Structure 1
Amino acid sequence: MRTICRELSKHYLVDIEDEALVAGLGLHIRNLVVRASAGRPVSNPLAAQIKQAHPLVHELAIYFAQHVELAFDVPVSEDEISFIALHIGGCLERQRERMDQTSVALVVPKYYRMHEDQSKALAMSLGDRARVVATYTSADQDWSRVDADLIITPIEIPHLHPARQVVVSPLLTQHDLDTIHGAVQAARRRSSWLRAVHQLRQLVDRELFFSGGPWRERDEVITHLVAAMQAQGVVGDAFLGQVLEREAMSPTSFSKGLAVPHAMTMDAHRSAIAAYISEAPIAWGGSEVKLVLLVAFNADERRLFREVFDQMIVTLSESSRVQRLATPGTDYETFIADLMDLMDA
């Protein structure tokens, strides 16, 4: 388990070399091998939901499952992959809470020890979700020079963007703390979306956009999109086989009309996304899709995979959004504008 976690960490640039995770996976994989050897499959009613709502975690679980198959010579089903995803997802969520913190500055009058007490109370309430980086006893500051994501203040600060300040009562009631928690969550979500939107502009090439083409079969679509990437110098000759191998592990289709084929290796010459809008539904792993986004990532840009992959799938988790992008005859400019608009929503 430690070896597989180490390989997964290096491959996807995530830190899951966690002893609690190793122990939990060790117990689970031992039982998985017993079940697989005895031909007694197990059902996971959350399998489809995990794949839809947490695509990156599901992808990590597939990589893990592939190594389990090689190590123990047993098949790992889609349901078992989802159980592995629960273990990995729990570890990443704990890690994210510790590392992806919002910085907060507190404005509170200097009256006896009130500023110290409120700063401690706020820090205790926020826990790992945010950190208090400064406490000010006056709102008379050059806030453009204050390095904090949010300013918690009892009085509204002129010329400070409303999204950056949270106006609370002077005594920090429980209602105020609830409001602050909501603002912290919104700040984290906003920061994540902005990064993904900026990166998508670099990834989706005009030369890799196709609308209303003649391709109607899954492998035919993948073959032509890979060929387009090769023509642009994005990937090498082995990429097509790698994408098809990944499909054999678990279909990359989503029930909302979207498919996101990709390889399990990150050896593209550069990161890019090829898009195909089909006029007719394409049969894909038990689903029908009309929008295909072939994704290729370079190892030196693994952070793009972590930040863009999840955001892109979550953005397109609603069928109405996929339908908006997959309108037949849509040109490149309209597609990019709509995608950016959805990412900003």
Structure 2
Amino acid sequence: MDPPNFYKIGVLTMGSTLNLNIFINQYSLNNIVLHFAISMERIRQGYILTENDQDILKDNLDKQELTLTNEITKVLARKYDIHFPESEIYKLALQFVGLYDKSLIENNNEQQVETYVDSTILSVLKDVLRRAEDIYLIDFEDNDFINKLAIHLQGLFYRSQFQKFNRNSNLLDIKISYPIIYDISVYIASLIQEKIDITFNEDEISFIALHIGSLLEKEKAIDKNYIRVLLIANDYHGIRDQITKKIKNRLGSSVQIQSVSDYNDNQFFHYDLLVTTDRKVATTYEGSVFIKPFLTDRDLIKIEKRIDVKKKQHQKDLIDKLIKRFFSESLYFNQIDPSGLMVSDIIKHMNQMMIAEGYVDENFFYSVQRREKMSPTSFPSGIAVPHSVELDALKSGISILTLQEPIVWSDQEIKVVALVAINKKESKKFNKFFELFIEIVSESYNVEQLRKSENCDEFITKLKIMADELIDKNILI
């Protein structure tokens, strides 16, 4: 027979789930198709699963899951001339545990959701989200978000009874690109796990991150990192208003425009960029942009480029302040010999110094350990970034420890450790920097360059240069 075709199996699987009105996302589909392909290849080579657990699975699987699996295996059997034993069918049916009727999402019917989702799960979820709101200052009061996450948790509850979890192929990307969202997900998962018999692995935590990311994207506030523009132009026949409107249409919320026909020197101190139709004003004030009274595309491009430069400089200045604020010579430990040290020993040593410097209290170490158990903070680039599961530091800061030789930290070779302490009141400012920091240290080359620093000042200088390069490449905070 022909070897099983991954794409064709996917089409057949998706077609069957559509027939039964089952919701299946791309991540789940990839996992399911892979299991069917492996099963078919195993059967073709004569390796059949034993029937030891067949009765247990048969008694616990829902009728819909077995019906769906039987439908798919019948189609595959005809297509590839292959026989699926009952033991294989029951194992494959596990892939559909926790999937649900599409109408639950499409209609967003709260009563229907409450019928599907166990009342305890729904109650715990709402309580956990309220606690997360207090910690992270995010509004989770969105029915669509809560309902979809509740449905996902109900599915996870079913799957965890069989120790069956969905893989997320984008797990590492989510951890690196959205570290704050991932941390919020770890926190939410840890609280839910304390109250309900649900097991979360890293992949399942990353699915919660996708729900949270979707909510934050939908509710993204207007960009407050705007550039203040002072427009000086005569208002003959409403020209000034026309210019203002054209600039706003082009640049949107990234600018705040104040337009005047007269001016004085004091006004310029309150604005980032001067735009004018008066050539004398333009030549008097350095950095101003001269435009024509009837604004052209070339004028708009000039304004846009100058604003981009100003915005990037604002970001560089902000990062410079945050680096100076969150890194300290007293929390920098260079070229430590890791011989005989365990990961917990390193965290404990760094934690003790943070206690001595007034950044954290005695409980911080245990909170960091709890976070590590939920999802290790080591990265393939050679850095570990341990931190608490809550924003419970006395003040925000980052302790840096570089190693003479790498140590193994949850299957990753680590050369640099950054122990992060975040105070709730400083979280918004800290988060601006933290995401950029993770973006920097996700690159092996950057970690190695930082590790070679002779002292804290050199480390900070290198970090600033790396941050500026990212900002210049439009990887903005």
What is the TM-score of this pair, normalised by structure 1?
Answer: 0.84
Q: Deviations over 1:298-341 (max 9, x none)?
A: 3332234322322221233322221111017x222322332233
| Residues in 2 aligned to 1:34 and 1:243: alpha-carbon distance in whole angstroms | 29
| Residues in 2 aligned to 1:182 and 1:146: alpha-carbon distance in whole angstroms | 21
In structure 2, what is the equivalent of residue 81 of structure 1? 205
Q: Deviations over 1:81-128 (max 9, x none)?
A: 22222222233345444252414434555342333234234334444x
In structure 1, what is the equivalent of residue 133 of structure 2? 9
Q: How much identity, in percent, do the aligned residues show? A: 29
Alignment match of 2:145 (pick from 11, 15, 21)? 21
Alignment match of 1:236 (pick from 353, 361, 383)? 361
Instruction: Give the SS at the match of 1:43.
Output: coil
Q: Deviations over 1:43-92 (max 9, x none)?
A: 22211111111211211121122223234320122122222222222333
| Residues in 2 aligned to 1:33 and 1:143: alpha-carbon distance in whole angstroms | 63
1:179 CA displacement: 6.5
Instruction: Note the 1:35-74 alignment, pairs <5 A.
Output: 35-74=159-198
Does structure 2 retain, via aligned residues, the 8 Å contact 1:273–1:295? yes
In structure 2, what is the equivalent of residue 298 of structure 1? 423
Alignment match of 2:258 (pick from 134, 138, 158)? 134
| Residues in 2 aligned to 1:74 and 1:173: alpha-carbon distance in whole angstroms | 61
| Residues in 2 aligned to 1:72 and 1:15: alpha-carbon distance in whole angstroms | 23
In structure 1, what is the equivalent of residue 328 of structure 2? 205
| Residues in 1 aligned to 2:426 and 2:301: alpha-carbon distance in whole angstroms | 37
Residue 217, structure 1, aligned to residue 342, structure 2: yes
Does structure 1 retain, via aligned residues, the 8 Å contact 2:337–2:405? no
Point out the more displaced range, 33-42 or 201-210. Answer: 33-42
Q: Deviations over 1:227-246 (max 9, x none)?
A: 22223333222221111111
Alignment match of 1:323 (pick from 426, 441, 448)? 448
The 1:181–1:327 alpha-carbon spacing in structure 2 relative to 1, beyond 3 Å, is same
The 1:315–1:173 alpha-carbon spacing in structure 2 relative to 1, beyond 3 Å, is farther
| Residues in 2 aligned to 1:90 and 1:187: alpha-carbon distance in whole angstroms | 30
In structure 1, what is the equivalent of residue 154 of structure 2? 30
Does structure 2 retain, via aligned residues, the 8 Å contact 1:102–1:149? no
| Residues in 2 aligned to 1:38 and 1:168: alpha-carbon distance in whole angstroms | 68
Point out the more displaced range, 41-50 or 308-317. Answer: 308-317
Instruction: Give the SS at the match of 1:135.
Output: strand
Point out the more displaced range, 35-44 or 140-149. Answer: 140-149
Does structure 2 retain, via aligned residues, the 8 Å contact 1:194–1:344? no
Residue 308, structure 1, aligned to residue 433, structure 2: yes
Residue 91, structure 1, aligned to residue 192, structure 2: no
1:158 CA displacement: 3.9
Q: Deviations over 1:143-166 (max 9, x none)?
A: 75463444455669346564xx56
Return the letter of the residue paired with 1:267. D
In structure 2, what is the equivalent of residue 278 of structure 1? 403
What is the TM-score of this pair, normalised by structure 2?
Answer: 0.63
| Residues in 2 aligned to 1:192 and 1:92: alpha-carbon distance in whole angstroms | 22
Return the letter of the residue paired with 2:151. L
Greater relative contact order (CA < 8 Å, ≥ 6 in sequence): 1
Q: Which has a greater percent of strand?
A: 1
In structure 2, what is the equivalent of residue 102 of structure 1? 226
| Residues in 2 aligned to 1:153 and 1:3: alpha-carbon distance in whole angstroms | 55
Q: Deviations over 1:205-224 (max 9, x none)?
A: 22221111123532221121
In structure 2, what is the equivalent of residue 333 of structure 1? 457
| Residues in 2 aligned to 1:195 and 1:38: alpha-carbon distance in whole angstroms | 49
Where do 5+ consecutive residues of structure 2 fail to align?
Answer: 1-124, 470-477
Return the letter of the residue paired with 1:53. S
Q: Which has a greater percent of helix?
A: 2
Instruction: Note the 1:182-193 alignment, pairs <5 A.
Output: 187-193=310-316
In structure 1, what is the equivalent of residue 26 of structure 2? none
The count of residues paired between Structure 1 and Structure 2 equals 340
Return the letter of the residue paired with 2:319. A
Instruction: Give the SS at the match of 1:205.
Output: strand
1:8 CA displacement: 1.6
Q: In terms of Rg, which structure is larger?
A: 2
Instruction: Give the SS at the match of 1:98.
Output: coil
1:252 CA displacement: 0.9
| Residues in 2 aligned to 1:19 and 1:167: alpha-carbon distance in whole angstroms | 50
Point out the more displaced range, 188-197 or 53-62. Answer: 188-197
| Residues in 1 aligned to 2:272 and 2:388: alpha-carbon distance in whole angstroms | 36
Does structure 2 retain, via aligned residues, the 8 Å contact 1:53–1:314? yes
Instruction: Give the SS at the match of 2:222.
Output: helix
Where do 5+ consecutive residues of structure 1 fail to align?
Answer: none
Residue 196, structure 1, aligned to residue 319, structure 2: yes
Does structure 2 retain, via aligned residues, the 8 Å contact 1:325–1:339? yes
| Residues in 2 aligned to 1:5 and 1:33: alpha-carbon distance in whole angstroms | 18
Does structure 2 retain, via aligned residues, the 8 Å contact 1:33–1:74? yes
Return the letter of the residue paired with 1:61. S
Instruction: Note the 1:245-264 alignment, pairs <5 A.
Output: 245-264=370-389
